[in-house]
Amino acid sequence: MPSAWQKRQCVEQLRRGGLIAYPTEAVYGLGCDPLNRQAVFALLALKKRAWQKGLILIAADISQIEPFIKNLPEAIKKRILDPCQEATTWVLPAKKSVPDWLTGTNKTIAVRLVQHPLAQAICRQAGRAIVSTSANFAGCEALRVGYKARVKFGNKGVFTLNGSVGSAAKPSRLIDPFSNKQLR
């Protein structure tokens, strides 16, 4: 488990526009400040990922994703807030003010109320949602161990926060709650 100092260093890296690697429910994630265009494009370049695909944001609570999403019907909001569900990323209508480097070519944004305690702590300390994409290069297997993330990305300026990933066997499911369709 990382120390309070290590968590602060991780959040400082975010605030400086840097990239971080951290454990999530199933794999190590790569993240950055979603409102820092330069940081987002550095993350996309590192992953060799096209911006047009859009990105996922993780948050500790719904107040951290509300700046990015349109108002939701109460039934959908209740479903998103259900603490008993497995890790779920929701595809929701994005506010017009959300930068296209987050939505890609979509009018939606993918968001998850993260269940991993360390990822939650980072979002809380940062005071915002953060970009979250799997710690791997496009098309390669995602990493589940901190030292592997450090070896792979440390020389690229990524701050790795040690910790164990959660017990989920695979990354979060991706659901459009309006159509009730599972996309992943």
Distance CA 118, CA 165 (A): 9
pTM to 2 decimals? 0.95
Binning pLDDT at 50, 70 and 90, where does residue 88 land? very high
Per-residue pLDDT at 78: 94
pLDDT band at 135 (very low <50, low <70, confident <90, very high): very high
Q: Let me know if 135 is exposed, middle or buried by CB neighbors in 10 A (0-12, 13-18, 19+).
A: buried
The enclosing domain of 117 has a CATH number of: 3.90.870.10
Q: How many domains does the chain have?
A: 1
pLDDT of residue 85: 80
Domain containing 146 equals: 4-182
Alpha carbon distances (Å) from 64 to 32, 45, 111, 170, 173: 14, 26, 10, 25, 20
